Amino acid sequence: QYKTAFVLSHKLREAMASEIHTGEILDGHVEVDGAYFGGHIRPENRKEDRKDRRLAEHQTGKRRVVVAFRERKGRTLPFVTKSEADGVSLAKINVDRMAFMSADEASHWDMLHAGWQVERINHSEAYSDHGKHTNMVESYFSRLRRMVSGQHHQVSPRYLHQYANHAAWLEDNRRRSNGENAYGVVAASMASPVSRNWAGYWQRAA
């Protein structure tokens, strides 16, 4: 049944998230980037009826950005916000001040230079330049985009963080076999307490 599968899937994602958001600070070489999801406005059939989707009054209010930090050869840590610039304040909480950071040319990342040693890559000129890149965090977003658009097709902003954590867990455990990942999900689920978000979900929604 759909209701059972929906809640069970999200309980499993919640268990995966417990291995992603451990409270451990990221260190070493950390890449940061953001990607927007949701808020699509379907254009009208006739050109004269179409609205300028860039204007605020035509927005749906459902658009969100996933800001992700990723250690090279390490962990992925995603957050859902309304602005990519929120990644600066998130970095202050989740990234060690001795870490070396990589970011793209977006102007809001300029503020990172006040707290970290940062290398920048201008994607309008190159995706990689003598070792300067954000390809690791971009590969995470590639997985998340395929998950959202290819598997689920439509994701509510209310649950986007669940899918972001799911993709991070898969990316961090990509070298393991399917069997190892299956045992890993079961182990994380067994170690998780009763879900306060999903226990009795449909009864509350009724």
Give 203's pLDDT tier (boundaries 50, 70, 90).
confident
Question: 188 pLDDT exceeds 70?
Answer: yes
The CATH number of whichever domain residue 109 belongs to comes to: 3.30.420.10
**pTM of the entire predicted model:** 0.89
- 117-121 and 100-104: which strand pairing? parallel
Average pLDDT on 110-137 reads 95
Query: Residue 141 is part of which domain span?
Result: 2-205
Cα separation, 7 vs 11, whole angstroms = 6
Question: 173 pLDDT exceeds 70?
Answer: yes
Question: 88 pLDDT exceeds 90?
Answer: yes
Those residues with Cβ within 8 angstroms of residue 100's Cβ, 6 or more apart along the chain or in another chain: 28, 29, 30, 116, 117, 118, 119
Give 206's pLDDT tier (boundaries 50, 70, 90).
low
Cα separation, 132 vs 118, whole angstroms = 10
Residue with the larger pLDDT of the pair 72 and 206: 72
Average pLDDT over the chain, rounded to whole? 93
Tokens representing residue 96 in the block = 């060690």
Residue 61 backbone class (left: φ over 0; alpha: ψ -120 to 50; beta: rest): left
How many separate domains does the chain show? Answer: 1
Give the model's pLDDT for residue 41: 67
